[in-house]
Amino acid sequence: MKIAWRLTLWYTAALVLVLAAVLAAVFFGMQHLLVSQAEREVRDAASRIEALITSPEGGGGNHWHIDLDDPELTQVAGSPILWVQITGPQGVVQRSHSLGQAMLPAYSGPPVERELFGEQALLYGRQFAGGSVQIARPLTQEYRFLFNLLRLSLLLGSVGVVLAALGGLTLTHLALQPVENLTRTMLSVGPEDLTQRVKLSGPHDELWNLAQAFNRMLDQLERGFQRQREFMAAVSHDLRTPLAVVKSYAGLISRWGKDNPQVVAEAIEAINRATGLMERLANDLLLLMRVQSPAGVRQEDLFLDELAEEIVADAVVLAEGVTVTKSDFPPAPIRGDKDYLRRAIWALVDNAIKYNHPGGKVIVSLTTTGQEARLAVEDTGPGIPPAEIGHIFECFYRLDTAREQGKGFGIGLCLAKNIVEAHGGRIEAQSKPGQGSRFTIVLPLRSS
């Protein structure tokens, strides 16, 4: 069943219950009021009759014949005439004209409702010295009024319930319209078309927020899919060159290699270089996937200064035509994964060597300030133009010069950033074109 119908059904049922309760309260309240009023009337009339019969002025208890049809006695303003019957020691002494030939039962006691002569009536009997008086009062008018009131209320109530149900159904339909729009858009969205958006209209209510959240989710999905597509394109593009190298040298060997050891040696070296490149790319991609996984990185106690010392020592040996130096490193205890951090620091040092002038310098320094360790790698290379510096941490982003020279896949800084962020740190980049660049890894120090 649709929500609109369900809601309408629920609140219509609630409305009917409330109306029934109100009607019952009004009916029984009015009935109690009217019957109490009638009770007071019969008791008053009985008191007056008893006083007339038993008072000294009235004959001191033997003046049985009084005017029972005196309006003062048996008729209260606006109320119907009472039926009165006086019973003396020898039986019924007198009856009011309103009784005609009929006789009231010889009842004595508090007012009770009885059916008398085909009508609902209130009967009261009072005993006094030597006799008693029975008074009855028809309740026909009161009950007619009450039942008319009930019928009218039921009629108006039913019309009200039907109108409220119809109005409620229409309003609920209108209120849920955005949900239907949302569902339609959700159904039309798929990986092949993520450009659809829900039209945001109407008041800024919960449904508007839901539609906005859905649109935001689609934005993120679209960006994610786009990045994934670019990523795949970049990986396949970067794999093509080394693969082409391997293929062409393999062809060369098969054609000329058997007789020419020089061709074989050249081919083996080229194939080694190409497969080495592919291996590096595959390893970096694997690392990137792992560091971005929800499992995150290992957290073990280590010293950043020791790790940086090892990397600088390697760099001094491997750097060709560039001088790598370091400042004094203070102890920098941190928590993290040694292998990942080594790769991140190496990415910065490797770049500082790769993108440097022949004879240039690389300076690695480490400082600790308050809660942080700051490892800076500075070079004297060509620097990075300000317009590009915001992009260099994107995966597969390379400056044109680097792309031309085929110095890397554009994954080093992206990987380094992901690794450092997985350790709760950040990387800062500063560069002055023509003078050099400075990359700083900032990591939280271990609190002992």
CA atoms of 416 and 408, how far apart (whole Å)? 14
Q: Is 355 in the site for ligand ADP (CB under 6 A)?
A: yes
Phi, psi of 372 (to 5 degrees): -120, 150
Residue number, 267 or 392, with CB nearest to ligand ADP: 392
CA atoms of 94 and 70, how far apart (whole Å)? 14
CB 198 within 8 A of CB 185: yes
Nearest-approach distance from CB 351 to ligand ADP, in angstroms = 3
Q: Which stretch binds ligand ADP (CB under 6 A): 139-147, 193-201, 291-299, 401-409?
A: 401-409
Residue number, 326 or 398, with CB nearest to ligand ADP: 398
Nearest-approach distance from CB 383 to ligand ADP, in angstroms = 6
CA 40 to the chain's CA centroid: 62
Residue partners of 213: CB distance under 8 A and separation at least 6: none
DSSP 256: I
CB 396 within 8 A of CB 409: yes
Candidate list 8, 85, 172, 351; residue touching ligand ADP; CB under 6 A: 351
Residue number, 189 or 349, with CB nearest to ligand ADP: 349
Q: Which stretch binds ligand ADP (CB under 6 A): 86-94, 104-112, 309-317, 348-356?
A: 348-356
The H or E element that residue 301 is part of is strand 300-303
Q: Which stretch binds ligand ADP (CB under 6 A): 31-39, 234-242, 296-304, 351-359?
A: 351-359
Residue number, 271 or 395, with CB nearest to ligand ADP: 395
Task: Compose the 256-275 pattern: x for residues touching ligand ADP by CB under 6 A, - for all others.
Answer: --------------------
CB 42 within 8 A of CB 124: yes
Nearest-approach distance from CB 355 to ligand ADP, in angstroms = 4
Which residue do the tokens 């899919």 mark? 225
Nearest-approach distance from CB 398 to ligand ADP, in angstroms = 3
The residue count for binding ligand ADP (CB under 6 A) is 21
CA atoms of 315 and 340, how far apart (whole Å)? 17
CA atoms of 390 and 36, how far apart (whole Å)? 90
What are the helix (H) ranges across 97-197? 140-188
Q: Is 409 in the site for ligand ADP (CB under 6 A)?
A: yes
Nearest-approach distance from CB 227 to ligand ADP, in angstroms = 15
Size (the chain), residues: 448
Task: Compose the 298-337 pattern: x for residues touching ligand ADP by CB under 6 A, - for all others.
Answer: ----------------------------------------
The burial class, CB within 10 Å (0-12 / 13-18 / 19+), for 118 is exposed
Phi, psi of 64 (to 5 degrees): -80, -20
Q: Is 398 in the site for ligand ADP (CB under 6 A)?
A: yes
Question: Hey, which residues between 38 and 77 contact ligand ADP (CB under 6 A)?
Answer: none
Phi, psi of 245 (to 5 degrees): -60, -50
Nearest-approach distance from CB 371 to ligand ADP, in angstroms = 27
Residue whose beta carbon is closest to ligand ADP = 408
Nearest-approach distance from CB 431 to ligand ADP, in angstroms = 7
Torsion sign, CA atoms 206, 212, 218, 220: negative
Q: Is 399 in the site for ligand ADP (CB under 6 A)?
A: yes
Q: Which stretch binds ligand ADP (CB under 6 A): 24-32, 73-81, 103-111, 400-408?
A: 400-408
Residue number, 81 or 399, with CB nearest to ligand ADP: 399
Strands, sheet with 109-116, edge to edge from the N-terminal-most edge strand: 91-95, 83-88, 131-138, 119-128, 109-116
CA atoms of 45 and 77, how far apart (whole Å)? 12
Q: Is 277 in the site for ligand ADP (CB under 6 A)?
A: no
Q: Is 413 in the site for ligand ADP (CB under 6 A)?
A: yes
Task: Compose the 378-397 pattern: x for residues touching ligand ADP by CB under 6 A, - for all others.
Answer: -x-x--x-------x----x
Candidate list 347, 363, 419, 420; residue touching ligand ADP; CB under 6 A: 347
Report the phi/psi class of residue 436: left, alpha or beta, with left for phi > 0 and alpha for psi in -120 to 50: left
CA atoms of 161 and 167, how far apart (whole Å)? 10
Q: Is 414 in the site for ligand ADP (CB under 6 A)?
A: yes
Q: Is 411 in the site for ligand ADP (CB under 6 A)?
A: yes
User: Which stretches of the chain bind ligand ADP, using CB under 6 A?
Assistant: 347, 351-352, 355, 379, 381, 384, 392, 397-399, 402, 407-414, 437
